[in-house]
């Protein structure tokens, strides 16, 4: 299984903190997505504030609890990007400070990223939905029930 997140634009909301994503440059909800190796959507987590880091949103969205058997030592595992370091899943190697990655680690990262392309396709499919492309304009109380669940 593959995991990644996306920030769904929702516009600025009065009185709600933490929605602005510095990385994306707009207000939104961080939605965690689980996809199969063939790129099919398997699960979507509860929305978290857009400013939340993926590794924290992975835990708070309910995805970590629902898929816990996969990332236990005897589980089949999950593959993620570098934003999920420390969650216990397979992530690419980070470059050490002041040094380069070894050729073996570069090859490993390349292989892992080729596998991860399937979750990016699943997210691209979700982003084709008009409500996720143009921005969610209804109240945040109905965000969970509208479109994704």
pLDDT tens-place string over residues 71-94:
777 878 788 888 788 777 788 898
CA distance 10 to 28: 5
Query: With contact defined as beta carbons under 8 Å apart, do 55 and 83 qualify?
Result: yes
Q: ∠78-132-114 over CA atoms, to 5°?
A: 35
Residue in 130, 137, 33 with CA at minimum distance from that of residue 78: 33
Please state, in angstroms and rounded to a whole number, the distance separating the CA atoms of residues 9 and 81: 21
| Whole-structure pTM value | 0.75
Residue 138 is predicted with a pLDDT of 57
What DSSP letter does each residue of 102-131 carry, written as one string? PHHHHHHHHHHHHHHHHHHHHHHHHHTSHH
Query: Computed over its alpha carbons, how large is the radius of gyration of the chain?
Result: 16
Query: What's the chain's average pLDDT?
Result: 79
């Amino acid at each position: 299984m593959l995991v990644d997140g996306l920030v769904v634009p929702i516009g600025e909301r009065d009185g709600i903190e933490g929605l602005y994503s510095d990385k994306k440059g707009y207000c939104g909800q961080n939605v965690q997505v689980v996809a199969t190796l063939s790129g099919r959507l398997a699960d979507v987590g509860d929305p978290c504030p857009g400013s939340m880091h993926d590794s924290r949103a992975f835990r708070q969205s309910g995805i970590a609890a629902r898929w816990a058997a996969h990332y236990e030592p005897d589980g089949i595992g999950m593959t993620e990007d570098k934003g999920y370091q420390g969650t216990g899943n397979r992530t690419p190697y980070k470059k050490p400070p002041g040094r380069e990655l070894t050729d073996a680690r570069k090859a490993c990262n390349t292989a892992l990223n080729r596998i991860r392309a399937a979750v990016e396709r699943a997210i691209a499919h979700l982003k084709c939905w008009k409500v996720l492309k143009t921005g969610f304009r209804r109240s945040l109380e109905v965000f969970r029930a509208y479109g994704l669940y």
